[in-house]
Structures are given as C-alpha cells and as structure tokens.
Amino acid sequence: MAEFGPKQRVGGMAAPESEKSRLDEAARAGWLYFIAGHTQDEIAKLLQVSRASAQRLVSLCLAEQLITFRLEHPIAACMELASRLKDLFHLAYCEVVPTDPAQPLTAAGIAERAANILESTLRGDKPTIVALGTGRAVRAAVERVSPIDCPNHQIVSLVGNISTDGSASFFDTVGRLADRTRARHYPMPLPFLMSSKNERDQMLRIDPIAKVRAVAAKADLRLVGIGQMDQSAQVHVDGFVSREELFEMMRLGAVGEVVGWAFDAEGRVIAGGINDRLTSIPLQVPAEALTIGAAVGRAKVAAIRAALKGRLINGLITDEATAGAVLG
C-alpha cells in the first residue's frame, strides 16, 4: 500500500484529531452510561447524536478500554484464576473457590461445588451416567448431596473399592450417593490392585465386571480426585499401595494419579509399575466426557498441573491458593 507522502501526512494530521475527539465523545458517553447511569437514549440527546451513535460511542468506550471494571470482592480473583485455567488448558469447566485462611487444606469449599454439580446433574431429566473416582473431595462431595429421588440415572465406580482387608464401606462413595438418590448403581467389586498384570486382565474379563466397566466407559460425567505421588500419597496412606510400590512409581517419574493411574509431570500415563496391575477404569486421553478433577493443596500442585497438561481431565475444581500455584 505505497502512498504519497502528502496523503499520508494529511491522514496523519486529520485522523488522530478526529480520532481524539471521537474518543472524547466515547469517554463522555461511557461516563454518562456507566457512572451516571443514563440510558443510551438520554445520552443521545445530551450529546446531540442519534441513539445508534450513542450506542456506538458506548461500545467504542468499551472497545478502547477507556473504561475498566473493577470488582472489589475476593471472588474476583477466583473468577480470574478460573478463567485463565480454562483458557490455558482448554477446560470445559473450571471453578476456583476462595481459600479458607483458617484451613487452607479443607476440601469443604470444593466439595460444596462438586456436590452442586452432582446434584444438578442428577436433578436433570435426561438419564445420565455419573462415574465417581477416588479422593477426599469426591467423598465429601457425595456426603453433601441432599437426598433426591432420581431413579433414571446410573452411578458407577471408576475404581475397585475392595480394600486389601476386604472392607469396602469407607470408600464406597458410589453406594453412599446411590443411597441418597435411589439411582441404579454399579460399585466395582474388585481390589484396587491385583497381584499381577495377568491376574488383572483375567479379572477384567469376568462378565459382571466387564459390564460395570462398559457402563463406566459410557459415563457422561466423571468426578475424580487428583492424588500426588509422594510419601504422603493418599493411595499409600490409605493402604492401597505399599511403600515399595510407591517408590517404584516415583522412580518411573510419577507425580500424580487419577483413580490410581499414575502419570508423569507431562501428564502421560506411565507404562508399567502398578499401572499394569490396576483394576481402575482406563482414562480417556484426552478426556472426552466431562471429567472433573477436584483437589486442593500445595502438595497436589504438580499433580494437578500434570493432569491438566496431559488432558487427563477437562474440568477442575480447586481453591484460590492452589489455582494460583498451578498457574504460577
């Protein structure tokens, strides 16, 4: 677009000036609209232009960032973090709740949110399959779901809930949720880990198990916890994984786990180690059904970041402090 000097100069002189007075008017209009609270009609009369032009000026004021909004509330930071996480990791869902300064590790806030999602999903008319994973937050969420009658939905476990000692009760989140909702439910009557890959593979071929797995694979909503793989890993603390097994996974690069599947810092599910003997439903990579991870705490930051990177989850519920750490 080569142009003559004079032309450019004229443009250069004229445009900024008209531009400037236009921005002045836009600022005026914006002030009258947002601060004085006038309607665009009134502004049009005050500025002696048509209403359409007044609307354009208000738009311009916004587009040129002449006016900015400032939200004086703790929630604002949470919304901001959620928005950034959503953009950065292409999440379908993201919620950041304020961190309780008194108990920074409490799952109460995120459990509340997760319970909210569960409830609204279960209240829907459309028959839905809800799959539940491991994690304190998931258990707490289930406890907070208020009893509703929704027999059209199905609830299925993503993870074997027979502990090494055979007790199932504490980890039977599926059962707890089904109690409250009277939905059809499919617990996973399997140990978390089998003793060998072969044994695992055999187990999974058993018909009732295969059926549960088929239901789980079709789940519309997966709600899972995200565990870190360090010495205080929940899977170890709860006795599902021995110290040696844990160390082995850490050697293989594991930083976190979702329903038992250990993954490295890039979010790649690790081949080998206990993953070979795990009975949990496989992860979709990248996640297709809405798969919401719920986790808080400094210790889980690396695990959360990896799970997001690897697209093991496409939804996240966390708190402000954790979200900030994941991003920062």
Contacts with its own copies by CB under 8 A lie at: 23-24, 27-28, 30-32, 34-36, 48, 61, 65-76, 79, 83, 116, 120
Contacts of 290 (CB under 8 A, 6+ apart): 92, 93, 220, 221, 222, 314, 315
**Residues at the contact surface with DNA, assessed by CB under 7 A:** 3-4, 7, 10-11, 14, 18, 22, 33, 39-41, 49-53, 55-56, 58-59
Tokens at 9, concatenated: 């100069």
CA dist 40 and 32 (Å) reads 9
Q: How far is the CB of 151 from DNA (least distance, A)?
A: 21
Residue 65: contacted member of its own copies, DNA, none (CB under 5 to 8 Å, by partner type)? its own copies
Q: How far is the CB of 29 from DNA (least distance, A)?
A: 10
DSSP annotation string for 213-271: HHHHHT-SEEEEE-EE-STT-HHHHTTSS-HHHHHHHHHTT--EEETTEEE-TT-PBPS
Residue 233: contacted member of DNA, its own copies, none (CB under 5 to 8 Å, by partner type)? none
Q: How far is the CB of 292 from its own copies (least distance, A)?
A: 15
Nearer to its own copies, 17 or 201 (CB): 17
Nearer to its own copies, 109 or 225 (CB): 109
CA dist 328 and 325 (Å) reads 5
Nearer to DNA, 60 or 299 (CB): 60
Burial of 268 (0-12, 13-18, 19+ CB in 10 A): middle
Write down the residue that tokens 């900015």 correspond to: 68
Residue 3: contacted member of its own copies, DNA, none (CB under 5 to 8 Å, by partner type)? DNA
Nearer to its own copies, 21 or 167 (CB): 21
Burial of 63 (0-12, 13-18, 19+ CB in 10 A): exposed
Nearer to DNA, 43 or 283 (CB): 43
